[in-house]
Amino acid sequence: MTTIKKARQLLLTGALGCSLFASQASALNIVLTNDDGWETPNITVMAQKLREAGHQVILSAPCTGQSGKGGAMTFLRGVVIDKSKADQDEYCVGDTDTSKAHEDYVEGTPVMAALHGIDVLAQKKWGSLPDLVISGPNEGNNLGYMNNNSGTLGAAMISIIRGVPAIAVSAGRGSTQEGSAQAAIADIVLNLIAKLESRKGYSNKLLPPFMGLNVNIPDNLDDKGYKFTNVGWNPGEANVVFREDLSQDPVAIQYVAGGIAARGVPFEQAKIMALQMLTGQPGLSFDTSGYPLDTHERSEGVALANGYITISTIDAHIQAGIAKKALTRAKLGPLQ
């Protein structure tokens, strides 16, 4: 069964407890952003599908890939805004001129792009905050503790803090290639929005204040459907590690070789070139042996590995729970 057929099957079988197909929903004012750049297949199809569904969409995303930037931002310095697609309500934030001196180059991070959409573009177009911010769909899942470093989550968190409901959406690595996967992913997001709209109630809000969703979609959509999860600690298929010599790391070799091969170089030759490039170079990579400290079935990293589309609730703060607060007082108090 193809990915898009499986997605349609999921949506029709009511994996959220009832059918996700709501009655004709009202048009929403949506700011769409990401951390992969404004011209990726995922965000392009997402914008198209949202507009086809009748929603008003402003796309405000980084001009360049900003994966892993988390909540990064640059204060009190001018940043370039690309307005070449302003007639389509699409903008990108950040320098692309790599000839600039380092001190003059200002990247447009996901947080900055989201705020540009909320504070500037939404006010100009609608005269108000957007009804919703969608961050993604990301090229790769954001799970467990790795959400702390995710630009996709960073953009969603700043939106929630500003009082705007936000949905962070991340898909598997298979979503990096153009094809039916993007449409299937967008359809899942559209139907989640329709479900939220159908239950807005008297508040007329999609979600309560300071609340958002972290949605992860696996590469292979089967009939397992959705699972409401905790963010947990489990980062899914890979745990981040620092290597003294990246040439000794199979993951790094495969990743760099893949990028070289994408430019038309035979893969075996690309691997040799990657080995030469990485020899003696320290840096971050991924350990794919798993994350044994969190194996709970409700952790999103575990549930996604088991084939579920995961939905975790997020609230944009780092406050620990009551038990850990009490433990802090017990260990440190009384203090004078």
Give the start-to-end residue ranges of the domains of the chain: 3-235+292-320, 239-287
The Cβ of residue 271 has, within 10 Å, a number of other Cβ atoms equal to 18
19 an active-site residue?
A: no
Q: In the prediction, which pLDDT does 336 show? A: 66
The pLDDT, as a whole number, for residue 132 is 98
Beta bridge partners of 240: 286
| Residues sharing a CB contact under 8 Å with residue 276, sequence separation 6 or more, in sequence order | none
Round to whole Å and give the CA distance between 253 and 272. 9
State residue 222's pLDDT score. Answer: 72
CATH 3.40.50.1370 holds for 3-235+292-320 = no
Q: What is the pLDDT along the chain (336 residues), one digit of tens a residue?
A: 444 444 445 444 443 433 343 334 579 999 999 999 999 999 999 999 999 999 999 999 999 999 999 999 999 999 999 999 999 999 999 999 989 998 889 999 999 999 999 999 999 999 999 999 999 999 999 999 999 999 999 999 999 999 999 999 999 877 777 677 899 999 999 989 999 998 887 778 899 999 999 999 998 877 689 999 999 999 998 889 999 999 999 999 999 999 999 899 999 999 999 999 999 999 999 998 888 889 999 999 999 999 999 999 999 888 788 888 888 888 788 786
Can you give the pLDDT at residue 223?
66
pTM: 0.87
> Between the CA of residue 16 and those of 26, 48, 195, 227, 238, what are the distances in Å?
21, 25, 9, 8, 28
Distance from chain centroid for Cα 183: 16
pLDDT value of residue 126: 98
Catalytic residue, chosen from 60, 159, 170, 285, is 170
